[in-house]
Chains A and B, each alone.
Chain A
Amino acid sequence: MDYAELFCQSNFSFLCGASHPQELVNQAHFLGYQALAITDECSVAGVVRAYTEIKEHKLNLKLIVGSLFQLNDELRIVLLCPNRQAYAELCRIITNARRRSPKGEYCLQEWDLKTARECLAIWVPKGKKQQDAFWAEWLTKHYPGRLWIGCPRILTANETEYLQHCEWLSQLYDLPITACGAVLMHQSGRQALQHVLSAIKQGTTVAKLGRALLSNAERSLRPINKLTKLYKREWLQESLNIARRCRFDMSELRYEYPAELIPQGKTPQQHLRDLVETGIKKRFPEGVKQPVREIIEKELSLIAEQQYEYFFLTIHDIVQFAQQRKILYQGRGSAANSVVCYCLEITAVDPRQINVLFERFISKERDEPPDIDVDFEHQRREEVIQYIYQKYGRERTAIAATVSSYRFKSALREVGKALGINETQLDFFIKNINRRDSGLNWQAQIAELGIDPASGKSRQFIALVTEIMGFPRHLSQHVGGFIISAGPLYQLVPVENAAMQDRSVIQWDKDDLESLGLLKVDVLALGMLTAIRKAFASVKQHYQRDLSIAQITRMEDDPAVYNMIQRADTVGVFQIESRAQMSMLPRLKPRNYYDLVIQIAIVRPGPIQGDMVHPFLKRRDGKEPISYPSQEVEGVLSRTMGVPIFQEQVIQLAMVAAGFSGGEADQLRRAMASWKKNGQLMQFQHKLVNGMLKRGYSQEYAERIFNQICGFGEYGFPESHSASFAVLAYVSSWLKYYYPQAFYTGLLNSWPMGFYPPAQLVLDAKRHDIEVLPICINNSQYDHIIEPGKKDLAIRLGLRMVKGLSEEAANITVNNRPHSGYQNVVQIKQLGINRDQLEALASADALKVLTNNRYSARWALMESESELPLLKEQEQVFSFNTKPSDIENMLEDYAATSLSLDKHPIQLLREAGLLSRYTPANRLFEKAHKSVVSVVGVVIGRQAPGTAAGVTFMTLEDDTGNSNVVVWIATARAQKQAFLKSKIVKVSGILERGDGDVTHIIAGKIVDLSHLLEELNTTSRDFH
């Protein structure tokens, strides 16, 4: 006897189904089922995974697409798709039911069910005579010839009655009965997890759920011989009859691109070629050279072969819009670094500068779809999104989903709660388990924290936490992946509401889209682009020079700029401004564009964990010979001196050295991206190592490559992205070097973005001898501006720095400013801005030109009486004579604007004689390597990079600069109090000077000096 399971929910019926779709299809295949329907509740989110699994493992199992619906707790019905129209119908019904409800819920109406003309229906009666009779009549009317009674036998109490009831309905309404299993698990072993999921859903514990739990494990995929005992032969046969009618296959789904992109009478190929030719004239005004022309032809033919024209055209259309609106953008991704994209103005990377990249354009062998992400100015990305919605309509546009899954912390917390473990204790576990501790896994650590690993309950706890990790919890919105179609999107995939208003997401994530060969367009936001555009505008205004990213990259690599980068003078520069990046710059000494590409990719946890940084540095400096185990490997790794640094190299290595096919390599790439979530990467270990051994590589080399892959998995960085980032890193460095005023104001006006808060950017500007003028009611605009200073152009801080002052209020003060400026406080009071905001202005000392005491200015503004019309003209006399001291002024500066232009806290402390001897940051260079030093500073950063060594970096700031302190884990443990809590510290330790004069202080003793300035309102970026 054969069987087809037609009612089966995966874990995409969130907190109900207890098996992954992949597990379900594998088990169904193992049990010899003919077909399996994945019928998640009002969802097809899990279907693609099942489909991909079947395809990848070539399983002999028919996949049926369907969905379960519940109507008013009266009707439970499974709709199945016999054909493409039925599938479109199902997607539409799901979309309608979902769009009526807030995120994560659905609301089905009778009308929805009436509109299904093609779907097959399996009705699972509730067992209530009158109610079921009503629905039997209703359903037979609307589903003639395609309605079955589904009768699950799951061995519950009183089942005999239920079976009789179903047979009665069957006879009365002449409906066939089909066997079905109402499956929630791929095997009975998942029962405990299913119970836990139910408890999480109900927000209670398993023990308290009592009879609301499943009473047994029968809702799993069961062996056919068991089913033949439970069901009548005809019923089983009926399941096969239904399955036979279901001919729809996911591979029928074709993405139809919006037709309006192509002018009438042209083919996509022609149109793309025309656009490229136009672009060539613009990009290569002096004419294109033969080698570049050849590459263009090669790329165009590859695009034609893969039929990717629409994809390029869609992106071209979007960036055209951005260009019209003068929104700065930059494309990145494997396909983005092509000459075609350069000509289509999707990127600004001049191919003549970086021709080394072109061979790695879309790779046919690797069987991966082209990848183009476009970054836009972060403050204006919404305009682009609105354009897409408006051009293609909301019916045809939606954002891809991201599946949020259980990660370690959420798994531990939710499972713990379901098992009745005290929440405080769970908090304690979570806070004290160090997932980075590579020596001790979390299971062992939790035992150390006081769970008895031998007890049954702890074993269950640990097993369930492990099992639930990787389970999907809900769908959320992808950061910017748009899917645009020719017809209504809901005929292709269900669309549901996102948490954000007026946004809708489809039920598939980017992997699902890739599996089906559907393309998405990534519209992302990047703060640095905003900053660069603003800096360009300032340069135009104050230096009358037009700049663009393309123009800057087209110039030769500028040694002066690289010189600045090599000194790690890169505060505010894109990507290479972090502590870790900065400490690597003097060692790596980037001299050209490609060095920057490497620099950006190498200082990542992936390469650091995989131990690739040091070999690379040594080889670069000629301290270690460069050798390759084979010619193929040399081909892949020669550009990075034999050390794999980019994600693409790892994939290529798997292909050339371990014999992975294109498809396998693509699977490997995906597993790498999500291995933290589900650990799928481990299945490749055997294949990779064996493949390499077979091809004559040493065991040791093979293992090392695999470890590097694991490291990459988490944080690997592709060369194609690094290449685009390097452009922005260079452009921002160039601006910093040539137009620092414009650079800093651009950054400050785009904040929040980047790594450094305004206070540090301003401090950096001052260290570069740029005059920074204070916020002033009579001179400042809302934004920071450039104005003539004493010697050179100076930066005038804007009102946007004033905490508690809205943009609107700031603009009122600017727009109503008299020609000669405000003369007194009363004028400001009369602006009609609320008092809190006025007071914020006073505290920021913006009224200094009117009254040289911010306390009395604020006191004057606080008064309510003189707002009365009669008293308006009177200048108030007030007997207020509290005057802020230097320290108070500084504290007020920090409180009101987060930065102070006057004295640095450390300087104030020193002048007050509160500090004992120490070395200022700018004198550290005088100290010898290995000498003992003390430094004092405000802690502006604590960073624990993902290295296994167990160090934390502390950055201390004094009035002369920053110093870098390295705290070893043992020191940190021994001096926890000072290390964790302090805002101002004194650190005594050993000074170390490494390659390229990178100076660190290895902390010995850390003394907390925070009490000296209790209220200092500096915020430090903590590593939590």
Chain B
Amino acid sequence: MKNLWLYLHFPHLQLDTLFSQDPAEHALAILDSKTNTVLQLNTQAKEAGIALHMGLGTAAALDQSLQVIPYQADIERHKLKDIAEALYLVTCDICFFPPNGLLLRIHNMLNLYAGLDAYWQVLQNQLATLGITYDYATGHSPFAARMLARDAWNQVTNDYSIMKKRVGDCALKQTELHPKTIQKLNRVGIHSVANLLKLPLKDVAKRFDIDLVTYLGRLTGEFQHPMHFFHPPDHFHRYLELMFDIENTQTLQHPLKHLFAALEQFLKVRDLLTQQLMLTFKQRDKEDLLLEIGSAQGEYQAQKWLTLAALKLENLQLTGPVCAITLKTGETQVRSPDKSDLFSGKKGTLSALQLISMLQAKLGEDAIQGLALHNDFRPEVASAYSAPLIQSDTLRQLQPLRPSFLLQIPQPLREKVSIIHGPERLHTGWWDNKETTRDYFVARSTLGQWYWVFKTPDTQWYLHGIFG
């Protein structure tokens, strides 16, 4: 059987991945932040005259309301994996062409599906569930399929003469050849693949390095093109970037639904359950927020998880707008009757994380907090409650003399003290609206206690801490 390949090209994968309830109302572009050029754009942007590879300056001049998002290859790589997993349900040999392409070997699937049309239909249906724009093409070699798909040929055929003709029409620019090689060929009037293939291979070899010859061999299918095929992962791990920051836990449920549906799909095909889900909410300019959801008996259904999550979300206090969500599974187990052994092994060995989430579930989120040092002069900021389990770095050594007991709210000083050291003047914090202007002193009370007191610019005295 002759080889047949199908290539799927996702021209704006990151754009499609951005979660949005409604399609964007204004122009949107994804930008390569190194070169400041447009990589992907939506229809509104196209209508404004913005084109691919346009500089940010020109693009912004064309549409004042253009929203710009930096390109992140990671997002596309994640998404490509998700797509591969979804397609793996219906087709077997999948290769990655990161960041935005998948190559399928399909000639070995055609018997199963009784022909190309039926196979393509199934594949299309599967793709439709993902809601992602794609271009596609079949080809007689991997490179051929890739080139045609990237050219948005969007045809599926097993007529090799059509594919070959079409490949021949392609410009050299569209090949994977090094731009320098292409330029050299252009400069002798060779612009299309057909032009190039017409030249005697021996003459070509005398003028170019082996890469060109290898490429041509692979393109025509005369040479083998080794491929690494995809194997599905064992753990579920998915990252979802939100189109808009979400500040309200209610609204979070909507993107979660999508994530849980994907999870259900993942677990169902593997016949697995999981007892624990780890959600990470990425908050803009704030620490990540972790949320664990447990289900003692193990669960796979999206609806169930959503209910559990809804309960948890009620107690969740967002400290900043959420811009992305990651969902991971903990341990998974084969879905089988639960026969846990009452007498087996360790009990009550909770990880710190589990303990905290349990306490939080019982007492409410706010009840559990950790203490951490922050790099700041202002005592209120330097020593503050924070989300539990946040590691404090080595700031401790840098601290000057500070009392062990710091009053949460400074108290007016009501007793007579004698000043021992000082003043230490703090006048800082203009940038975050917590400006502090105080003179701190180490003082001693009549009873011999060591106090940390301060004076405000209007000479009010306060007690702020007591040395131990």
A interface residues with partner B (beta carbon < 8 Å): 155-160, 188, 191-192, 195, 206-211, 213-218, 419, 424, 427-428, 431-432, 456-457, 460, 839, 843, 855-856, 858-859, 862-865, 878-880, 882-884, 888, 892, 895, 976-977, 980-981, 1024
Contacts and interface: CB of A to CB of B under 8 A. Distances in A.
Closest 7 CB pairs of A and B: A210-B375, A157-B400, A155-B425, A216-B427, A977-B49, A882-B189, A855-B189
A213 B439 CA distance: 17
B159 interface: no
Interface in B403-430: 421-428, 430
B189 A888 contact: yes
B431 A862 contact: no
B222 interface: no
Given A839-B187, A879-B200, A976 B61 contact: yes
A460 B429 CA distance: 12
A427 B37 CA distance: 13
A209 B189 CA distance: 59
Contacts of B423: 155
B188 A862 contact: yes
Given A210-B375, A879-B200, A980-B61, A156 B424 contact: yes
B212 to A, nearest CB: 12
Nearest to A206: B431
A402 B375 CA distance: 38
Contacts of A209: 375
B424 A976 contact: no
A863 B424 contact: no
Contact of B187 (A159, A217, A843): A843
Interface stretch (B62-70, B73-81, B82-90, B105-113): B62-70
A980 B58 contact: yes
B430 A976 contact: no
A210 B376 CA distance: 4
A882 B203 CA distance: 14
B377 A215 contact: yes
B54 to A, nearest CB: 8
Main secondary structure of the interface of A (DSSP, over half): helix
A195 B430 CA distance: 10
Interface residues of B, number: 45
B195 A882 contact: yes
A217 B61 CA distance: 43
Contact of A216 (B57, B199, B428): B428
Contacts of A431: 56-57, 60-61
Interface string B31-46: 1010010000000000
Main secondary structure of the interface of B (DSSP, over half): mixed
Contacts of B428: 191, 195, 213-216
Give the residue among B61, B68, B190, B423 with the most A Cβ atoms within 10 A.
B61
Nearest to A973: B61
A159 B424 contact: yes
B206 A863 contact: yes
A157 B207 CA distance: 74
Contacts of A879: 200, 203
Contacts of A211: 375-377, 398
A202 B193 CA distance: 53
B458 interface: no
A207 B57 CA distance: 30
B424 to A, nearest CB: 5
Contacts of B188: 855-856, 858-859, 862, 880, 882
Give the residue among A210, A880, A892, A980 with the most B Cβ atoms within 10 A.
A210
Given A855-B189, A981-B58, A460 B425 contact: no
Nearest to B432: A207
B394 interface: no
Contacts of A976: 49, 61-62
Interface string B427-457: 1101111000001100000000000000000
B433 A456 contact: yes
Interface in B196-213: 199-200, 203, 206-207
Nearest to A192: B430
B1 interface: no
Contacts of A210: 374-377
9 contacts: A160-B421, A208-B375, A209-B375, A210-B374, A211-B377, A218-B425, A431-B60, A976-B61, A977-B62
Nearest to A427: B56
Contacts of A157: 400-401, 424, 440
Given A215-B427, A216-B426, A216-B428, A864 B206 contact: yes
A428 B206 contact: no
A424 B401 contact: no
B183 to A, nearest CB: 9
A839 B184 contact: yes
A424 B432 CA distance: 22
A457 B427 CA distance: 18
A476 B326 CA distance: 50
A360 B433 CA distance: 59
A460 B187 contact: no
Contacts of B433: 456
Contact of B427 (A208, A217, A864): A217
Contact of A460 (B401, B424, B430): B430
Given A157-B401, A882-B190, A428 B68 contact: yes
B60 A432 contact: yes
A424 B31 contact: yes
Contacts of B401: 157-158
Contacts of B439: 155
Give the residue among A424, A460, A863, A879 with the most B Cβ atoms within 10 A.
A424
Nearest to A857: B188
B76 to A, nearest CB: 19
Interface string B160-197: 00000000000000000000000010011110000100
